[in-house]
Amino acid sequence: MLNRREALGLVATAAVGLASSSTVVSTAPSPVNSKVKNGRIKQSVVPWCFKPLPEEELIGHAARLGLKSVELIAPKFWPLLKERGLACAIAGSHGFAKGFAHTEEHAECIATLEKRIDECAAAGVASVITFSGFRRGLTDDIAMRNMVAGLKKIVGHAEKKKVTLCLEMLNSRVAVEMKGHPDYFCDNIDQSVEICRLISSERLKVLFDIYHVQIMHGDVIARIKQHKNWIGHYHTAGNPGRNEIDESQEINYRPIMKAIVETGYQGYVGQEFIPVRDKIASLAQAIELCDV
């Protein structure tokens, strides 16, 4: 027989044990750590620039910090994203070294895109990235004709599967070691949008990379407003250096994010900067900055 004091002691001990057990088995991300308060911008993150951080670890941080997506990540990680309540905002494809500016590269790019579009349609991934590739001596007129002819061969498949192709503009000014792409054909946002206009499909948009547009043009907000109907995705990075998007660089991201919201944009903004400080602390800071 237990006296009253002994019985109460056992109950208290059992309660502490149950609470400890619940804490150990819980794997849900803590909402206290979320850096998203407004959520008017659906934010994503790109894994390549956070290497050597493993993708699984980045996915965990993304969920904890309140991101909506981890993008340009291999399809083998898509089930894990779904488990953590995340999307893959845009899928990778054939890479920027090859593209639609050269007719001899069309078949390879189209085959890669067809496969990835099918995978995206099956998994509920909304967009796939595509590129122009390099000039390698082509005139603007020839490269434009090649781009339009090649993309027309694949855009019908994208329409059928309800997946959007996003043609990324890249800068061609800075050196390769500074994350530039010398000789890349679609290095002009106006020209990239014109390709989409000539094809005129709801399933072909531009990927508006703010970092690249700043290097090649400036006037970022004006161009966002001008081309709002043709923008299917956004990327960020600080200039110069492609590093954090904080006060160490020249792009003022908060008014840019406000301008994006004002256009009625419903897609994603991918954080694609290369951290030079603590990777996750820098990501958290960028999320707060863009959460307008």
Instruction: Give dist(CA 277, CA 41) in Å, integer.
Output: 24
- Give every CB contact of residue 46 below 8 A, 6+ residues apart in sequence: 70, 71, 72, 235, 270, 271, 272
User: If you average pLDDT over residues 36-46, what whole number do you get?
Assistant: 97
Q: How far is CA 129 from CA 39, 86, 90, 95, 256, in A?
A: 24, 19, 7, 9, 22
Q: What is the pLDDT of residue 283?
A: 98
What pLDDT digit, counting tens, does each position of 260-285 carry?
A: 999 999 999 999 999 999 999 999 99
The residue among 78, 132, 125, 124 whose CA lies nearest residue 101 is 132
Instruction: Give dist(CA 283, CA 45) in Å, integer.
Output: 8
Name the residue type at position 181: H
pLDDT tier at 30, thresholds 50, 70, 90: very low
User: If you average pLDDT over residues 32-52, what whole number do you get?
Assistant: 93
Compute φ and ψ for 285, nearest 5 degrees.
-65, -40
CATH class held by domain 36-290: alpha beta
User: If you average pLDDT over residues 14-42, what whole number do you get?
Assistant: 56
Alpha helices in 204-290 (DSSP H): 210-216, 220-226, 253-262, 279-290
First-to-last alpha carbon distance for the chain, in angstroms, is 64
Q: How far is CA 97 from CA 78, 149, 207, 264, in A?
A: 25, 19, 17, 33
- Give every CB contact of residue 278 below 8 A, 6+ residues apart in sequence: none
28-32, 131-135, 249-253: least confidently modelled range? 28-32
Q: What is the pLDDT of residue 177?
A: 61
Q: How far is CA 227 from CA 45, 128, 218, 220, 230, in A?
A: 23, 19, 14, 11, 6
Instruction: Give dist(CA 272, CA 48) in Å, integer.
Output: 8
What pLDDT digit, counting tens, does each position of 89-119 carry?
A: 999 999 999 999 999 999 999 999 999 999 9
User: If you average pLDDT over residues 14-30, what whole number do you get?
Assistant: 36
Question: In the predicted model, is pLDDT for residue 210 greater than 50?
Answer: yes
pLDDT tier at 34, thresholds 50, 70, 90: confident
The percentage of the chain sitting over the pLDDT mark of 70, rounded to a whole number, equals 88
Peptide bond connecting 47 to the previous residue in cis, omega within 30 degrees of 0: no
The residue among 180, 186, 191 whose CA lies nearest residue 215 is 180
pTM: 0.88
Q: What is the pLDDT of residue 27?
A: 35
pLDDT tier at 144, thresholds 50, 70, 90: very high
